[in-house]
Amino acid sequence: MKYCSSSIIAFLFILTSATLLSGQEGPPIDSLKAILKENLTQDSLADINLGIGKSYRSQGMPDSAMYYLRQSIQLYEAGDQREEVVNAYEQLLRTMSNSDQPFEASVALSDTVITKAEEIDDAKTLTQAYLIRGIIFDDMNQREKAFKALNKSLEYLSRLEQKRTAVAIYNAMANLYTDGVDWEKSQEYYLKALYIADTSGWKLGKSVILNNIADNYLDVDRYDEAEQYFKESIAIKRSLGNETNLSVSLCQIAYLYSETDKLNLAFSHAREGLQLAQKNSYHNGMTICYTTIAGLHGKGGNQDQRINYAMKGVELMTQMNAPLNSSLLDNYEHLYQAYLSKNNYEQAFKYLELYSNARDSIVSMENEAKIDELELSFQLKEAEMKNALLAEQQKQAQLKLQRRQFLFFLMISIFAILGLITAWWVWQKNKLNAELDNLVKEKTATLQKTIEDLEKANEELTHFSYITSHDLKEPLRSINGFVTLLRRELGKDLSNDATDLMQNIQRFVRQMNRLIEDVMSFSLISKKKPHYHSISLADVVEEVKGSLSAKLDKSNAEINLQNDLELNSSRTHLVLILSNLCKNAIHYNKSEMPTVDIAAAENGQFWKIQVKDNGIGIAPQYQEQIFVMFKRLHSRSEYDGTGLGLPITKKLIEQLGGHITVESQEDKGSTFTVFLPKQDN
């Protein structure tokens, strides 16, 4: 691809020209300089300097332009006019990128412009600065950086309504894919640019894009399409009278004609192109045309002219201090080929050497650029990975934090709920406790009252029983006394029947007396509080025997203690219990010799005392009833008694916390067993 770089430079020129055409071109430089001498304010001075700078640039004098533009920047900065500073910087960047300054200087300047423009959020300048930066990177063969910059430019452009800049950006993007990188893609971007230029009616822009499309067809040897596009581009440029750009197009179509062996056409176009470039002192156009014409002479076999034009090209490029490019390489090739044809080996060798050195430099420049690209893409990838890792870490940390927060809130909620439940539970418990306390108090009070009432009633009853029995016994004693007196008074006059009757009266009185005594002792049992102490059963039995001695003698009965036992109990109670049981054992007995056997043993938590007799026994159906008050199994004529002996015994045993059982067989005898709980000493 021979004209790529040049066409971009040309395009930049068009862009700047277009800006000037849109009304930014100032008055002539001389009149401006004259104003400078006048007494001016700092702001006006800055404006004038800017105007002069722009004018110099439009006249293709970048060095002078840059001087005045820098002056204006300084003045604007001193006045802190930030927008004007950015604008002047943009002008400076446009100029520098179109000058002989090294690419690196323009890249550095673009950094400054971008920073300044970002500070005031100037989308228009940012779009332009990134566009220029993209084009410079493309010229430096750093495609990836160029693509990034152009994309940035597009990004800022989306905030503006600038069709022409869009055309420029798409054109620059297309340029990235030319030179055999990706023809389809370059074509796609060119067509986009062409469409925008066409629909927005921007003729100059359209002509440039048409030219570039033609160039792109030329690159893949599609000469017909290339010719068609060149022609269209040339027609527009002619109609616009844009001679500088026309010069380049004419030389490019000339090259096409030379490739398709239309030498005459080629020469006429190339000569016209060179003429226009020279007329306008357009150095870029001139170098392209010199190279093309040299090539045409080469084809035509005119080696002297070939050398002549190739030398002009080389000289101009040296004069322009242009960077190494394919045009220079072509010229060296022409020179070496021409001298070779002329058998001038010395010169041929010289230019072959220059050619190969230049080619090596270009190749190594390309390689360096490629290495730079690779390094950059590696750095980008690394940065991307780092970012992804960081993002992932942040995500994880966020998740962790969220999880922790969730757990924290969950715990807080659980604690809060537990706290509430506990508080409610405590409150409820306290409430229930209070209610229970009240209830207990109430019940205790009621119970206490009942107990008190009962005790009072019992007291009264005991008192009543005592009084009653005492009062009842009083008339009985009198009856007995009077009967005794009556018997004594009547003496021998009493008939036997009357004596019997009187004896009966006295017997009933005794019986009544016993009944009253038994009732009384029953009712007084509750008054008998047991006093526990260690006692010997043998002692108790001896006392019983003593109290029953008359009855024992009369009945010819005997009481035997099988074994002694030491126990902790109430002696009074035990004497009464055993007396009652022994009395019954002898009383309800028809044997010749009533015998009572007393045996004692420990039985678990109890002391077991058995009273066994050889008496009349008790029928099974009555064995329960005998402990009921006043229950008697026999008539008084048969066996006298009150029916209170066993109930009294039972009550005494219960007062000691024990119980009584009976086992009996009629006519064989009975065994009463008393269980008394063991008491601690």
Binding interface with ligand ADP (CB under 6 A) = 584-585, 588, 613, 615-618, 626, 631-634, 641-646, 670
Q: Which is nearer to ligand ADP, 465 or 642 (CB)?
A: 642
**670, β-bridge pairs:** 664
Query: What stretch of H or E contains 249?
Result: helix 243-259
Neighbouring CB atoms inside 10 A of 71's CB total 19
Please state, in angstroms and rounded to a whole number, the distance separating the CA atoms of residues 642 and 528. 21
Q: Which is nearer to ligand ADP, 359 or 632 (CB)?
A: 632
Please state, in angstroms and rounded to a whole number, the distance separating the CA atoms of residues 442 and 446. 6
Q: Residue 237 carries which side chain, given as an amino acid letter? A: K
- What does each C-alpha distance from 621 to 399, 586, 624, 633, 651 come to in angstroms? 89, 22, 7, 11, 22
Q: Which is nearer to ligand ADP, 517 or 543 (CB)?
A: 517
Q: Which is nearer to ligand ADP, 567 or 618 (CB)?
A: 618
Q: Which is nearer to ligand ADP, 12 or 519 (CB)?
A: 519
CB-closest chain residue to ligand ADP: 641
Q: Which is nearer to ligand ADP, 285 or 641 (CB)?
A: 641
Cβ–Cβ under 8 Å, residues 206 and 194: yes
> Closest approach of Cβ 500 to ligand ADP, in Å?
24
Q: Which is nearer to ligand ADP, 489 or 638 (CB)?
A: 638
Q: Which is nearer to ligand ADP, 302 or 521 (CB)?
A: 521
Cβ–Cβ under 8 Å, residues 277 and 246: no
- Angle at CA of residue 558, ends 557 and 563, nearest 5°: 160
Instruction: Give the three-state DSSP class for 643.
Output: coil
Q: Which is nearer to ligand ADP, 605 or 635 (CB)?
A: 635
Q: Which is nearer to ligand ADP, 204 or 618 (CB)?
A: 618
Residues of the chain by 3-state class (helix, strand, coil), percent to 5: 75, 5, 20
> Closest approach of Cβ 677 to ligand ADP, in Å?
24
Size (the chain), residues = 681
> Closest approach of Cβ 425 to ligand ADP, in Å?
59
Residue 668 token pair: 């064989």
Question: What pairing do the DSSP bridges indicate for beta strands 669-677 and 659-665?
Answer: antiparallel
Q: Which is nearer to ligand ADP, 194 or 611 (CB)?
A: 611
> Closest approach of Cβ 541 to ligand ADP, in Å?
17
Residue 118 token pair: 């970002």
Q: Which of 81, 19, 11 lies closest to 49, judged by CA? A: 81
Can you tell me which residue has the tokens 């300054």?
A: 101
> Closest approach of Cβ 504 to ligand ADP, in Å?
19
Cβ–Cβ under 8 Å, residues 462 and 526: yes
CA–centroid distance for 623 within its chain: 84
Cβ–Cβ under 8 Å, residues 594 and 608: no
Tell which phi-psi region holds residue 346, choosing left (phi > 0), alpha (psi between -120 and 50) or beta: alpha
Q: Which is nearer to ligand ADP, 343 or 637 (CB)?
A: 637
Q: Which is nearer to ligand ADP, 76 or 672 (CB)?
A: 672
> Closest approach of Cβ 672 to ligand ADP, in Å?
7
Q: Which is nearer to ligand ADP, 163 or 551 (CB)?
A: 551
Cβ–Cβ under 8 Å, residues 270 and 237: no
Neighbouring CB atoms inside 10 A of 234's CB total 23
Question: What pairing do the DSSP bridges indicate for beta strands 566-570 and 595-603?
Answer: unpaired
- What does each C-alpha distance from 180 to 183, 187, 223 come to in angstroms? 6, 12, 16
> Closest approach of Cβ 622 to ligand ADP, in Å?
7
- Angle at CA of residue 216, ends 213 and 221, nearest 5°: 125
Q: Which is nearer to ligand ADP, 106 or 579 (CB)?
A: 579
> Closest approach of Cβ 531 to ligand ADP, in Å?
26
- What does each C-alpha distance from 400 to 131, 329, 389, 392, 414 come to in angstroms? 44, 63, 16, 12, 20
> Closest approach of Cβ 581 to ligand ADP, in Å?
7
> Closest approach of Cβ 616 to ligand ADP, in Å?
5
> Closest approach of Cβ 645 to ligand ADP, in Å?
3
- Angle at CA of residue 307, ends 347 and 326, nearest 5°: 90
> Closest approach of Cβ 583 to ligand ADP, in Å?
8
> Closest approach of Cβ 560 to ligand ADP, in Å?
16
> Closest approach of Cβ 631 to ligand ADP, in Å?
6
Query: What stretch of H or E contains 600?
Result: strand 595-603
> Closest approach of Cβ 655 to ligand ADP, in Å?
17
CA–centroid distance for 318 within its chain: 69
Please state, in angstroms and rounded to a whole number, the distance separating the CA atoms of residues 465 and 457. 12
Q: Which is nearer to ligand ADP, 60 or 643 (CB)?
A: 643
> Closest approach of Cβ 625 to ligand ADP, in Å?
8
In terms of Cβ atoms closer than 10 Å to its own Cβ (0-12, 13-18, 19+), residue 485 is: exposed
DSSP states of 486-506: HHHHHGGG--HHHHHHHHHHH
Can you tell me which residue has the tokens 């036997």?
A: 496
Q: How far apart are the two ends of the chain, measured CA to CA in Å? A: 131
Residue 630 carries which DSSP code?
Answer: T
